[in-house]
Structure 1
Amino acid sequence: MRKIALALALVSLSAATAVAQQPPGGRLGTGLPVPRYVSLKTDRVNLREGPSKDHRTAWVFQRAGLPVEIIAEYETWRRIRDSEGTEGWVLHSLLSGRRTALVMPWAKGNQPPISLFDKADEKGGVAAHLQPGVITNIKGCDGKWCRVVIVLDGARDVDGYIQQEKLWGVYPNETVE
């Protein structure tokens, strides 16, 4: 009888431990799809080692509009990943649903400029030449091409089309409206 009681106590303890160690992604805060892309709302976003302000800041992002991928949710915290694969936790209020993307952040060395076309066709006119790492605002994607806007300054923007595969911040074949 003691063995049964001890076994039940151990089962209860291991169940409680399993709940306590449940991956933070197990408790969704929004019900929105995970993973999904969002962007940083401000120029200063602390990336933490865990989902609370008690956890150490591992990195500080300093680029509003930078696209990041939400890979888990826990209450008001979101586990994100950037284009370089760095992961950590940020408070949900520091993120925006505004869709942005980076132009070929994986390109290294003497990469020729990436063409931004005036229509969704490689035979179209070139609206601009972009360097890898440029942040674009996504206006829409059809699964192959994305219409994007690059903000140059307060008075001018460049609007055009880029092949979706050249962007980090949209999934392959994803449509964005």
Structure 2
Amino acid sequence: MMAIWRRALVALLLISAAGAALAIDYRSVGAPAAILFDVPSLQGKKLYLIKAQTPVEVIVKLEGWLKVRDAEGTLAWLEARHVAEQRTLVVTSPQAEIRQSDNPDSAILAQLDKWVAVEYIEPASPGWVKVRHRDGVTGYIHSTQVWGL
């Protein structure tokens, strides 16, 4: 009986370690604009242009190229040199509010339209994240209103 519990514990620990190794890697476009390709090559088909500060999820790293996913779920290849370590988030709800504190009843400092990017500062209480808008407004936004976390 004890051996069964030991095996179960080892399996649980291995699963936990694998989960940590599979952490999601979010970054943002650091260049003024970058081209997304269908394959990891400049000779590949150009799919579309992605603007600065757009968050992307890195799926695969391959010799100077990154396979990324955007907020709409599109997968494409991007030259790694165009990606910054800085984390940004993008508003995915029709409108989002930056609030003074991580509370739905706190004062609204700014209202943002869909697809506006904000700088990720740090996590806050569950369901909230601290952000900075390019105009300097710093506050809290509900995590359900943004993508890139």
Q: 1:34 to 1:55 in 2, by over 3 A?
A: farther
TM-score where L is the length of structure 2: 0.78
2:73 match: 85
1:151 match: 134
In the TM superposition, 1:29-68 aligns within 5 A as: 35-61=24-50, 63-68=51-56
1:20 match: none
Q: Which amino acid aligns with 2:70?
A: D
Q: Aligned with 1:151: secondary structure? A: coil
TM-score where L is the length of structure 1: 0.66
- Alignment counterpart, residue 82 of structure 2, candidates 94, 110, 131: 94
In the TM superposition, 1:137-148 aligns within 5 A as: 137-142=119-124, 143-148=126-131
* Cα displacement string for residues 59-78 of structure 1 (whole angstroms, at most 9, x for unaligned residues): 222x2101111111212210
The Cα shift of 1:165 comes to 1.8
- Could you list the structure 1 runs, at least 4 aligned residues long, displaced by more than 4 angstroms after superposition: none
2:143 aligned with 1:164: yes
The structure with the greater share of residues assigned to strand is 2
Q: Which amino acid aligns with 1:75?
A: E
The Cα shift of 1:115 comes to 2.0
The Cα shift of 1:125 comes to 1.4
The Cα shift of 1:33 comes to 5.2
Q: Which runs of 5+ in 2 are unaligned?
A: 1-20
The Cα shift of 1:148 comes to 0.5
Q: Is the 8 A contact 1:34 1:71 kept in 2?
A: no
Q: Is the 8 A contact 1:68 1:169 kept in 2?
A: yes
Q: Aligned with 1:72: secondary structure? A: strand
Instruction: Count residues in correspondence.
Output: 128
Q: Is the 8 A contact 1:80 1:87 kept in 2?
A: yes
2:114 aligned with 1:132: yes
Instruction: Give the root-mean-square deviation of aligned CA atoms.
Output: 1.8
1:73 match: 61
* Cα displacement string for residues 118-177 of structure 1 (whole angstroms, at most 9, x for unaligned residues): 01111211111222221100111134211101012xxxx11110111211011xxxxxxx
Q: Name which one, 1 or 2, has greater alpha-carbon Rg.
A: 1
2:8 match: none
Q: Aligned with 2:41: secondary structure? A: coil
After TM superposition, the structure 1 stretch with the greater mean CA deviation from structure 2, 142-151 or 91-100, is 142-151
